[in-house]
Structure 1
């Protein structure tokens, strides 16, 4: 078996094994059957037609064509209905996608940590990377489709039609998982939690994209912006144009994530994700507080504070503590702090496993005065690099069969996820002039003023939407 085949096989086996373990503690529904084509759909797909109608296509506008500014409140309003109209089977389908994206996210977070050697901060979105690969699956034909399906965690190669993933079902379930995250986070007539995804599809001039593919992406990214530009003559100038275009379209301060373009590329797939949480009950402390980057170096940073009852666990065996902070009725922030800064890699390996929400079963309520840095983290990663590190460099390479995206043979270059992750004080809370005094002698003081880990998850889908590491709040990532 080739290294790529072994890697895909290992992924599927690990998902199946993990799912079997999960079944021991909960009512288990097979994770795959709700995500594949139905028998009736297969009969329609396999029914011969005399002359299949060609798919309509579109030509991306030049990159000079402006896009309307992103309205994040409107995007919030588009996500919420997906979570409010759950029909029979929808909850199980969303849970299945949550399981698959958690496994993929944990695997790729580990892969990325090995690539970077954990030199600093990092933010990865399992939702975004799963949605990115599911989007390519939507436009893939065999053998690429089968290989993508296996990498997503579902056996597919050599199976019948009713064993093949339905990309539209997968992306619809992913959209519902995103909606569940933000649906109950609203206060004072505005969203307390924002999750916005904007997709840039950048092609060489003259390349046409199939409309069914572009329209299908709306489940992953409600705003998709196809644009054409010269990628070959001056790749650095092309990268600069893309960065300017996306910053103008989103209004987000993302830095300059696009760089080092391959001049032979004909398609770039760049997903931009913004998550912002206003933390209920937290207020901004007056002045700045020291955050210890290492034992000898500190930086002054803005801090948020709240006193109340939080779920907490201190594990002396693993040398870490965990505090769970509610962001809404069903969304949670996990803060994972090693007892010693040098224990961060070990804490990360233990914490970011395949069923992170289940790992928190040891938490118990505790009166706590909690102080955390205000965060505005920016990170970017090329999914192509992660695939190469996972020994699958050709999965979206030059030989990939992506006939559902364009009639022309594609050379996929950069496949980017760029993230802006923000934690802010509750705007309804007045600024705090000084640190709040503990409510009583039993109140535990938990201050995250040294490197720590975090995760955002939603309990109904069990989906982990973000996982990250903070080593210096001022440097972002």
Structure 2
């Protein structure tokens, strides 16, 4: 859809200008036939009008099917032609492994409208999800990956048909601007997956202080055949991608086999293993994000330090110390302090801690994307001596629970149509997103880990020794990688 917006012109003005031009040409070029004069006047008016116009293309159209793609989609029958049966989870046949290692690279080109549009949709879903999960885990640490959540749901959109496809598209924020329902009003999932990969590459930028890995697994019942195209389209969405067959009807054995498989394939052993399974399902999806960051020029304080989980309850935890210039703001009106910590050229953390009797719940209740933008735009440089806990947090969250709380469980429910995944009826079980996040010191020498400002001003001493909000951003797009609440710095849920 293309919207033309004119500036300084309306229909009356256009008609008046046309009449003036017509009169001018009649007086000046009486030797020309009237027909040619009219054409010349019309062409001149159009050129003048076009120079005063600016054309706006809605970002939706950057992701929608174009005409040729629609023709291809409509010419295809609704039966999947190329199918395969995944190998058993117990199989040791490395040669037939459905794992794909995708090389991560740093995207250097300037980001466009499509990435910015997609980022806003992901951030919006991330905040909606966090609001729901913080209600479920009200007194616990909870951490979500906004990009992984969005990517997981988009993966199912690739396999969805009919009403499920439309519903997922709307839920992901891709409702057509005009409300149209034809082919060109549908989002091309592959385009979205491609843009997600670009944003992922920026978010997972690798340097000496960053280590990140994404592993996605699909587990299906034995003899359930899957679409080769569906699996192929998803392989580039993760660093490692696996498809395995497991018998869900024997729940105890299935749980043990899946946990053992994940322990083998994940670089960092997961501490929040699978504890239950739906024996009536035949399809299960897991996506695991592992992220380790280091705070530059920091060191680990030799002794364990106090961290106040509650006003009257404290525990001993390892703490990191670092001195330097940080972007910071203490808001005495809202009773909170905000601190930005750079982890790499692109990635940074934003920590928010309540002050003066304010509570984490109070800050979270009004948390929106606009709130974060205001915080980011209000930060100023300040020389700070900082202490914060060394973090090791793992959250394993079932997306099905989120959809139930949002009253849209039908999106991945028993009546959902996933006929692009298999010719058989897909009975979807758990859809799990796991985040394993670690924040460490860089191993600097305590005697040398000082900033040049140490002789110019006294540092402001900050100690993050009580619960706080943590968000991780990619600097170019301001996309949210992680969003959560730290109640216990070493916590598994």
Q: TM-score, normalised by structure 2?
A: 0.81
Work out whether 1:35 is the aligned partner of 2:35: no
Structure-to-structure mapping, 1:55-454, within 5 angstroms: 55-66=81-92, 78-80=103-105, 83-84=107-108, 86=109, 91-116=112-137, 118-156=138-176, 158-183=180-205, 185-187=206-208, 192-233=209-250, 235-340=251-356, 343-353=359-369, 356-357=372-373, 359-427=375-443, 429-430=444-445, 441-454=457-470
1:358, CA displacement in angstroms? 5.1
Question: How many pairs were matched up?
Answer: 430
Aligned equivalents of 1:237, 1:56: Cα separation in 2:
31
1:355, CA displacement in angstroms? 6.7
| CA pair 53-394 structure 1, distance change in 2 beyond 3 A | closer
Asked whether the 8 Å contact 2:63–2:191 carries over to 1, the reply is yes
- Local SS of the residue matching 2:60: coil
Asked whether the 8 Å contact 2:271–2:492 carries over to 1, the reply is no
1:319, CA displacement in angstroms? 1.2
| CA pair 333-257 structure 1, distance change in 2 beyond 3 A | same
Structure 1 residue runs of 4 or more that deviate by more than 4 Å after TM superposition: 51-54, 431-441
Aligned equivalents of 1:307, 1:194: Cα separation in 2:
23
> Structure 1 unaligned runs (5+)?
1-27, 69-73
* Partner deviation per Cα, 1:202-261 (whole Å, 9 max, x = no partner): 11110011111111112322311111111113x233122211110111132212432221
Asked whether the 8 Å contact 1:330–1:458 carries over to 2, the reply is yes
1:143, CA displacement in angstroms? 0.8
1:39, CA displacement in angstroms? 2.6
- Local SS of the residue matching 1:361: helix
Aligned equivalents of 2:93, 2:389: Cα separation in 1:
34
Asked whether the 8 Å contact 1:292–1:299 carries over to 2, the reply is yes
Indicate the residue corresponding to 1:6 in structure 2.
none
| CA pair 141-286 structure 1, distance change in 2 beyond 3 A | same
Query: RMSD of aligned C-alpha atoms?
Result: 2.5
* Partner deviation per Cα, 1:245-285 (whole Å, 9 max, x = no partner): 10111132212432221110100011111011122222222
Asked whether the 8 Å contact 1:372–1:447 carries over to 2, the reply is yes
Aligned equivalents of 2:128, 2:227: Cα separation in 1:
32
Aligned equivalents of 1:168, 1:473: Cα separation in 2:
38
1:158, CA displacement in angstroms? 4.8
1:315, CA displacement in angstroms? 1.0
Asked whether the 8 Å contact 1:178–1:195 carries over to 2, the reply is no
Aligned equivalents of 2:373, 2:244: Cα separation in 1:
39
1:137, CA displacement in angstroms? 0.4
Indicate the residue corresponding to 1:22 in structure 2.
none
Aligned equivalents of 2:455, 2:301: Cα separation in 1:
17
Asked whether the 8 Å contact 2:298–2:449 carries over to 1, the reply is no
1:401, CA displacement in angstroms? 0.6
Asked whether the 8 Å contact 2:340–2:351 carries over to 1, the reply is yes
Aligned equivalents of 1:432, 1:297: Cα separation in 2:
33
Aligned equivalents of 2:408, 2:114: Cα separation in 1:
27
Q: Which moved more, 1:438-447 or 1:305-314?
A: 438-447
> Structure 2 unaligned runs (5+)?
1-55, 95-99
Asked whether the 8 Å contact 1:369–1:438 carries over to 2, the reply is no
Q: TM-score, normalised by structure 1?
A: 0.84
Asked whether the 8 Å contact 1:284–1:432 carries over to 2, the reply is no
Indicate the residue corresponding to 2:53 in structure 1.
none
Aligned equivalents of 2:348, 2:447: Cα separation in 1:
24
Aligned equivalents of 1:363, 1:468: Cα separation in 2:
21
- Local SS of the residue matching 1:32: helix
